């Protein structure tokens, strides 16, 4: 088992990196299929998105749900533990919005 020296170190290990917070922020809005996440995150490679989703699922933050039927598909959701991140994700988003406004940055 990995040894941590403070709670922040553990938190950053679980949700840190370039893509995990972005994935979590999208899933905060509700369930998404893999393709929807890819469209919302065009800069991430398929391999990286798959890897990050697997890690988030292994850490208990994201749940992968398979649907059988005429058109089988998979959806990703936040787990109850992932939902606990909602206030932090909202604060991070709002902070980013303010920084973007200050710098004249638009998104698209």
Each residue's pLDDT tens digit, 43-99: 999 999 999 999 999 999 999 999 998 989 999 999 999 999 999 999 999 999 999
Question: Which of 36, 22, 39, 42 has its CA nearest to residue 74?
Answer: 36
Distance in angstroms (rounded) separating the CA atoms of residues 11 and 20: 12
Q: Is the pLDDT of residue 1 over 90?
A: no
* pLDDT of 2: 86
Strands 62-67 and 32-33: unpaired
As a whole number of angstroms, the longest Cα–Cα distance in the chain is 50
Q: What is the CATH number of domain 7-103?
A: 1.10.10.10
- Domain boundaries in the chain? 7-103
Average pLDDT over residues 31-41: 96
Residues 6+ apart with CB under 8 A from 33: 73, 74, 75, 76
Q: Is the pLDDT of residue 108 over 80?
A: no
Structure tokens at 108: 């698209």
Structure tokens at 37: 């996440």
Structure tokens at 97: 């919005």
* pLDDT of 107: 87
């Amino acid at each position: 088992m990995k040894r941590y020296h403070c709670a922040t170190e553990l938190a950053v290990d679980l949700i840190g990196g370039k893509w995990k917070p972005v994935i979590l922020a999208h899933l905060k809005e509700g369930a998404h299929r893999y393709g929807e996440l890819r469209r919302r995150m065009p800069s991430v490679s398929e391999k990286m998105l798959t890897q990050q989703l697997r890690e988030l699922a292994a850490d208990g933050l994201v749940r992968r749900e398979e649907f059988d039927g005429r058109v089988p598909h998979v959806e990703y959701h936040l787990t109850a533990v992932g939902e606990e991140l909602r206030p932090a994700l909202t604060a991070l988003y709002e902070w980013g919005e303010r920084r973007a406004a200050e710098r004249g940055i638009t998104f698209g």
